[in-house]
């Protein structure tokens, strides 16, 4: 019988609920059939540390890591834009909370050196894991999040070659609230698979995005929110996906399955059922099609992401102006003149000309006025 390891991968994890319920109680039966469970820990596990100067600071008690153990998480990416929300102390406390409970963090180090890839073995099959994140260019002091730099990722993939059966690359990337990866992301994902990666596990957009088979590898551009506040930050999506994939000992990626999820108002995910399940799968197929067919142009991408991107940033600047005075207003003016923002403005115009009044692409059941 051929050896097989089942990897289950999920998106962003908050570890808070409104009522204090177990955050994973609605999906326990879905994640039992796993050999390795992966997710993106989008919170700091600390109650102390220097609070970052930003709109959304996310943290929770280190004791909340017990929920991760109970759910069966084996490896978590800490390479994301909220890992440093409580500074070096908070990041170190996060790593300690995970490691002390036998959970492997990837993508960050409590030193000024990059974290090297790690290898897990299950059922005689070895999988190398490495994590990276977009983020600020100036490294923080006393800890380091692996930056999403192609040459460094390729170097890490090369360092794993011959040492494991599969290579899984976790990428915190892309544009928030976008249902499509950019053409640049698609090209990068393809290059990483060509370099030797088996799996690309994406997150950060807080929305589901395309799932693509490419040259023997599997790319999930964004798994969406898994256990997260569905009304945060901009009330756009409470639908997500869970990816289950069978990895064989000969380096072959076997069958994969996508399970649609719905996040309730208490931040707890549940399997979608009936029409909701069918609609989410149909929506995923719709947004995957231009990616897999290679027809997603840069102009079309800006048309698709512009409404949510502009609204999100304008809301963020309004908050900062209200809290800090006129300085953020000057920053907003500079932001508005950036090439990316100007391309979004052109995208809004093109979108309106193409289909009438701009309407954001939303997951099933989500009207623009929700």
Tell me: the pLDDT tens digits for 122-166? Answer: 999 999 999 999 976 555 668 889 999 999 999 999 999 999 999
What's the pLDDT at 316?
80
pLDDT, one tens digit per residue, over 284-305 is 999 999 999 999 999 999 998 9
Q: pLDDT tens per residue, the chain (370 residues)?
A: 578 899 999 999 999 888 889 999 999 999 988 999 999 999 999 999 888 877 778 899 999 999 999 999 999 999 998 888 888 899 999 999 999 999 999 999 888 778 889 999 999 999 999 999 997 655 566 888 999 999 999 999 999 999 999 999 999 999 988 999 999 999 999 999 999 999 999 999 989 999 999 999 999 999 998 998 766 555 566 888 999 999 998 888 999 999 999 999 888 999 999 999 999 999 999 999 999 999 999 999 999 899 888 888 888 888 888 888 888 888 899 999 999 999 999 999 998 888 765 455 556 654 433 3
Per the CB < 8 A criterion, the answer to whether 121 and 3 are in contact is: no
Sign of CA dihedral 300, 11, 138, 115: negative
Asked whether the beta carbons of 270 and 27 are under 8 A apart, the reply is: yes
pLDDT for res 368: 35
Cβ-contact 10, 28 below 8 angstroms: no
Q: Which of these, 160, 220, 214, 223, lies nearest to 191 by C-alpha position? A: 214
What pLDDT is attached to residue 358? 45
On whether the CB atoms of residues 153 and 188 are closer than 8 A, the answer is no
pLDDT number for residue 139 = 55
- CATH 3.60.21.10 is held by the domain 4-292: yes
Per the CB < 8 A criterion, the answer to whether 189 and 221 are in contact is yes
d(CA 68, CA 277): 26
Q: In this structure, how many other beta carbons lie within 10 angstroms of the beta carbon of residue 212?
A: 19
The angle at the Cα of 187, spanning 181 to 192, to the nearest 5 degrees, equals 110
Question: Distance (Å, rounded) from C-alpha 142 to C-alpha 220?
Answer: 32
Cα–Cα distance, 240 to 224 (Å, whole number):
5
Domain boundaries, the chain: 4-292, 298-355
pLDDT value, residue 363: 61
Instruction: Give the global pTM.
Output: 0.91
Distances from the Cα of 207 to the Cα of 40, 160, 192, 280, 285, angstroms: 13, 30, 22, 12, 14
Residue among 224, 290, 193 nearest 40 (CA)? 224
Residue 140, burial from CB neighbour count under 10 angstroms (0-12, 13-18, 19+) = middle
């Amino acid at each position: 019988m051929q050896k097989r390891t089942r990897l289950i991968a999920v998106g962003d994890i908050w570890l808070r609920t409104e009522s204090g319920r177990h955050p994973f109680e609605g999906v326990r039966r879905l994640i039992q059939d796993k050999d390795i469970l992966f997710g993106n820990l989008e919170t700091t596990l600390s109650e102390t540390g220097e609070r970052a100067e930003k709109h959304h600071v996310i943290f929770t008690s280190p004791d909340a890591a017990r929920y991760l153990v109970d759910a069966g998480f084996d490896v978590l990416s800490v390479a994301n834009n909220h890992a440093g929300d409580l500074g070096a102390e908070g990041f170190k406390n996060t790593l300690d909370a995970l490691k002390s409970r036998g959970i492997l963090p990837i993508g960050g180090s409590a030193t000024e050196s990059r974290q090297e890839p790690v290898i897990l073995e299950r059922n005689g099959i070895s999988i190398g894991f490495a994590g990276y994140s977009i983020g600020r260019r100036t490294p923080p002091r006393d800890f380091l999040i692996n930056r999403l730099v192609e040459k460094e990722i390729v170097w890490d993939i090369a360092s794993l070659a011959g040492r494991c059966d599969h290579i899984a690359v976790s990428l915190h990337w892309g544009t928030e609230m976008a249902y499509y990866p950019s053409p640049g992301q698609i090209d990068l994902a393809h290059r990483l698979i060509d370099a030797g990666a088996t799996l690309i596990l994406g997150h950060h957009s807080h929305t589901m995005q395309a799932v693509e088979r490419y040259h023997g590898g599997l790319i999930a551009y964004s798994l969406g929110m898994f256990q997260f506040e569905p009304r945060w930050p901009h009330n756009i999506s409470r639908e997500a996906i869970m990816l289950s994939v069978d990895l064989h000992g000969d380096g072959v990626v076997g069958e994969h399955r996508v399970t649609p999820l719905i996040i309730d108002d208490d931040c707890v995910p549940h399997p979608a059922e009936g029409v909701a399940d069918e609609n989410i799968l149909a929506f995923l197929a719709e947004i995957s099609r231009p990616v897999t067919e290679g027809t997603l142009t840069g102009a079309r991408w800006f048309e698709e992401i512009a409404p949510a991107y502009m609204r999100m940033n304008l809301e963020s600047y309004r908050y900062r102006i209200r809290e800090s005075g006129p300085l953020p207003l000057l920053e907003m003016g500079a932001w508005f003149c950036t090439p990316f923002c100007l391309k979004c403005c052109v995208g809004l115009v093109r979108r309106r000309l193409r289909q009438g009044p701009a309407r954001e692409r939303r997951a099933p059941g989500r009207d623009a006025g929700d």
